[in-house]
Structures are given as structure tokens and as C-alpha cells.
A and B are shown apart, each in its own frame.
Chain A
Amino acid sequence: MSLDPSFVGRSYPPTAPYQVGREKIREFATAIGATDPAYHDPEAARALGHPDVVAPPTFPVLVTMAASRQIIEDPALGVDYSRVVHGDQRFAYTRPVVAGDELVCVNIIEEITNRGGHGFLTTRTDVSTADGEPVVAAWSKIVVRGEA
């Protein structure tokens, strides 16, 4: 399917804050088999200088993927979600996510290309605290597969 390149540069309003819970971080760390004490034990995290348990590096995708529904479900852009494949993912961290963070996402469409009948959409999500402190930026490229 073809995506409209005029959407490049469009940004979306900040999302409602996501409250990062200590048990959610523990559950996520357990699900990926990450046993480092800083992911589970607040004392271990404090020993490393963090206020509470630290999230593993890919944890922010829970927040950014939910936020990117703003774009995927934008009727004007018209992405067919059943044809979406995850192409690339990147995170640039200012600091790790920690329990107690209240995270707000701002989505920006950085690139749209159409090639071989497929659409390629790159979005950047700037994740910051509700107070405006930057935490992590996430880039996600999805492929919207064309009809075979």
C-alpha cells in the first residue's frame, strides 16, 4: 500500500502520562529472563544511584508502542494494521526508565517511502517525564506490506 509522503514532519499532541510501576518492571524483566538485582530490588537500584528499580533497555517499547497508535490509527494516514511488520527499532537513552516515572510521548513522522509496493514509515517518539525531563528517544520503522 502507498503512504502519503506529505505526512513527513507531522507531530502529534503529547500522550496521556504512563505511570511506570515497580511491579510492571519486575514482570517485564522476569518475562525476558533478566535477573540483575537492579531490575527487581529497589536497594540494588539505589546502590547504582537510581531512585527505584531500573527498567531493562527495551522496556520503553511498552510506552512507545501504545503511543504510536496515534499514528497507526490516524484515519488520514490510513495504515492497514493487519499488514504491518516491524522493520527497525532504535533507542537513544538520556537515562534508564525507573519505577515511579510518569512518561509522556510525542510522536513525529520522520520518513515515509514507498518501494516495491510496500510502504515504509519511520516515527520518532520523544519520551520525557511529565515535568519535561528527557528520558529516551525511540525510532521505529514499520513496513506496511502491499497486496501480493
Chain B
Amino acid sequence: MELPTQTFRVTRADLVRYAGASGDFNPIHWSDRTATKVGLPGVIAHGMFTMALVGRAVTTWAGAPDAVVDFGVRFTRPVVVPDTDEGTEIEVSAVVKEVTEDGLTRLDVTATCLGEKVLSQARATVRTPR
């Protein structure tokens, strides 16, 4: 079963806010000068910010903020966030792989930016909604 795709807009302001809230002030997430110096096309989103957005999608699908029992991702491609009002967009979709008898639902999640997958092996296990 496929779950409805959720779309998240990401701007530079979001990255600055996430840096402050998470304490991750690595300059590749706010300084083009630093990002390009280490070979990136420009400022990229924190991997954990992308994972947090996927977490929002998962809890929305689960219908409960506290339903996630296991959640893992591999970061495969950076999410480049241009310094524009629009920023960029991350699309998150999922398929239900399994519903177990002990009340758990396993999801395989896909996250893309500009049509390219930014995560692999993204999986979540949630308590099956009643």
C-alpha cells in the first residue's frame, strides 16, 4: 500500500533555525563560502534536518506523535538549499511493507529533492494505527 506523498519546503531560514535549535553550527549549513571550499555546490541542509522532516511525515502517516518505535536512514545525496525565497523542496513517500500481528507497521520511505533520492534504506516501524 502506498501512503500519500508529503512535501516540505526548505529555505535558508529553516537551516539557520535548525542550527540554533539543534546546536549543529557546521558552516556548510549556512556559509556558501565554506560549502564551496569543501567541494559542495553550495549550502546544504543538515542530514538530521532532512531526517526530522521524514520523521514528521512518518508520525503524520501513523496518526500519532509518539508512535515511532524504530527509524533509520542512510544519507546518500546532499540537499542543496539555494539562497532564494523558495529554497527547495523535499518530497517524502512511503509504502507499507508489513503489518505484524503484534501491532507494528513497517514502512519503506523514499525522500527526493529535485527528483533525486537523497536517502537510501530509509525505514520506519510505527505502532499500527487503531
Q: Is the CB of B72 within 8 A of A89?
A: yes
B70 touching A91, Cβ below 8 Å: yes
Given contacts A31-B18, A36-B59, A86-B47, contact A54 B65 (CB under 8 A): yes
Chain A residue at smallest Cβ distance from B38: A82
Whether the Cβ atoms of B21 and A28 lie closer than 8 Å is: yes
Write the nearest CB–CB distance from B61 to chain A, whole angstroms.
12
A58 touches B52 (CB 8 A): yes
Measured between beta carbons, the chain A residues less than 8 angstroms from B58 are 57
Roughly how many angstroms separate A85 CA and B8 CA in the complex, as a whole number?
24
A57 to B18 Cα, complex, angstroms: 15
Most A C-beta atoms less than 10 A away, residue of B14, B24, B65: B65
> Which residues of chain B come closer than 8 Å to A31, judged between CB atoms?
14, 17-18, 20-22
Shortest Cβ distance from A54 into B: residue: B66
Nearest residue in A to B53 (C-beta to C-beta)? A32
Q: Could you give, for residues 27-53 of chain A, a 1 whenever the CB lies within 8 Å of some chain B CB and a 0 otherwise?
A: 110111110101100000000101000
In the complex, the answer to whether B66 meets A50 with C-beta atoms within 8 Å is yes
Q: Is the interface of A mostly helix, strand, loop or mixed?
A: mixed
- Find out whether the CB atom of A93 lies under 8 angstroms from the CB atom of B69: yes
Q: What residues of B have a CB within 8 angstroms of the CB of A89 in the complex?
A: 47-48, 51, 72-73, 75
Q: How far is the CA of A27 from the CA of B19 in the complex (A)?
A: 11
B117 close to A (CB within 8 Å): no
Residues of A participating in the B interface, judged by any CB pair closer than 8 Å = 27-28, 30-34, 36, 38-39, 48, 50, 54, 56-58, 61-62, 65-66, 85-93, 96, 139
Pick 6 A–B contacts, CB within 8 A, sort by A: A31-B14, A32-B52, A89-B47, A90-B70, A90-B72, A90-B73
